[in-house]
Amino acid sequence: MPFIRAFSKVAKQALLSPGCGCQPITVAVRTISFSPRQVTSDASFHSVSFSETDHPKVLITGGLGQLGVGLATMLRKRFGNNNVILSDIRKPPSHIFHSGPFIYSDILDYKNLREIVVNNRITWLVHYSALLSAVGESNVALARDVNITGLHNVLDIAAEHGLRLFVPSTIGAFGPTSPRNPTPDLCVQRPRTIYGVSKVHAELMGEYYHHRYGLDFRCLRYPGIISADSQPGGGTTDYAVAIFHDAVKTGKFECNLKPDTRLPMMYIDDCLRATVEMMEAPADTLSMRTYNINAMSFSPEELAQEVQKQLPDLEVTYDIDQVRQAIADSWPMNFDDSNARNDWGWNTTTTSRSSSRPCSTTSAQTRASQRLTEGKEVA
């Protein structure tokens, strides 16, 4: 199987880990800019530009989720420990609290977020706070607040203070009327979940702020992300993480999606590398502000077979969750990420692709590798 290398890596990490202490992620967020909220368009105090600092000063919202700590670790190696601040509304475990700057930030508290950006002279904001797809359907009002109102706060603050803003979108931004195999960057987007609607909203609002106010908005559409030492919470693709933990802890796994449900997936290292590469890409290489990124595509039964190669006694049963199944059935099976490859050099390395399209090295990929090797490579 093409993805066996990635699975083996995750399985090994899961086997070595005493168990993840992370809780499912539910966070809040906030934003604005020099025109919208309370700053007049002729205000001259906004503000700290990237060029004023040797390194970006990064704030990560929703930092205790599946991706925040990993991204902080990567960016801290690159830019220095004190230049990357993790934030969340939850209390961090002690090893995270002691590993670098951590701050309380509620994205729904606009003033609190603005104060953090100003006091810490933030230049890059990575906005990870969000309710995921399945949990969003069980609390639409909260998902709307966190995912949409929170985004408005972040957008306004980023525009006001001249920040480079990264907001992840995902396969969830597509729906049953989108082409599914592969799904291109530009096509019909009519998602049927509040999560998906909020992701399309984020893509469009970010692009609007880019054109209207010059906001340096950057967005990647992530597949489902597979990680060993951090867990997602409330997502439809969570099964692909849970299977490793359950296999190690109990030797049994009950899957809530049908065995043949095929979804795009990516190993966390690739996802974080893509995020850093896209954040560092020169603006003139970005012909768009929202890109698909792809790595592999598989179904629960294929994943189970791979894990069983490491743990032959693993018992897998199926108890279908109708909400999650309906969501998964409306999502892409595979992403077309040719624009990311051509524009800023995206290329998966730790995993192989399941699509039939060959991985060709473009000049953009060569440029991206050069940028990473010019003394800035992440360890």
Which positions touch ligand AKB (CB under 6 A)?
Answer: 132-133, 170-172, 224, 232, 235-237
Q: How far is the CB of 78 from ligand AKB (least distance, A)?
A: 25
Q: What is the distance, to the nearest Å, from the Cα of residue 113 to the centroid of all Cα atoms in its chain?
A: 20
Whether 209 is catalytic is no
User: 162 or 234: whose CB is closer to ligand AKB?
Assistant: 234
Q: How far is CA 10 from the centre of its chain?
A: 18
**Nearest CB to ligand AKB, comparing residues 87 and 147:** 147
Q: Which two tokens stand for residue 44?
A: 């001259």
Nearer to ligand AKB, 87 or 169 (CB): 169
Choice among 195, 222, 239, 267 that is catalytic: 195
Handedness of CA 52, 55, 59, 60 (dihedral sign): positive
Phi first, then psi: what are they for 315, rounded to 5°? -100, 125
Minimal distance in Å, beta carbon 28 to ligand AKB? Answer: 17
* Angle made by CA atoms 337, 146, 137, in degrees to the nearest 5: 75
For residue 248 the two structure tokens come to 């190690």
- Closer Cβ to ligand AKB, 100 or 235, answer by number: 235
For ligand AKB, the closer of residues 56 and 232 by Cβ is: 232
- Closest residue to bound ligand AKB by CB: 235
Retrieve residue 116's tokens: 């953090």
Min separation Cβ 285 and ligand AKB, Å = 26
116/119 Cα distance (integer angstroms): 5
Instruction: State how far the Cα of 335 lies from the Cα of 292, in Å rounded to an integer.
Output: 6
Smallest CA-to-CA distance from 30 within 115, 119, 106 is with 106
Helix axes 268-280, 68-79, angle to 10 degrees: 50
Q: Are 298 and 10 in contact (CB under 8 A)?
A: no
**Closest separation between CB of residue 267 and ligand AKB, Å?**
13
Total residues belonging to the chain: 379
Angle, helices 150-160 vs 194-213, to 10°: value is: 20
**Least Cβ distance, residue 120 to ligand AKB (angstroms):** 29
For the annotated catalytic residues, the residue numbers are 195
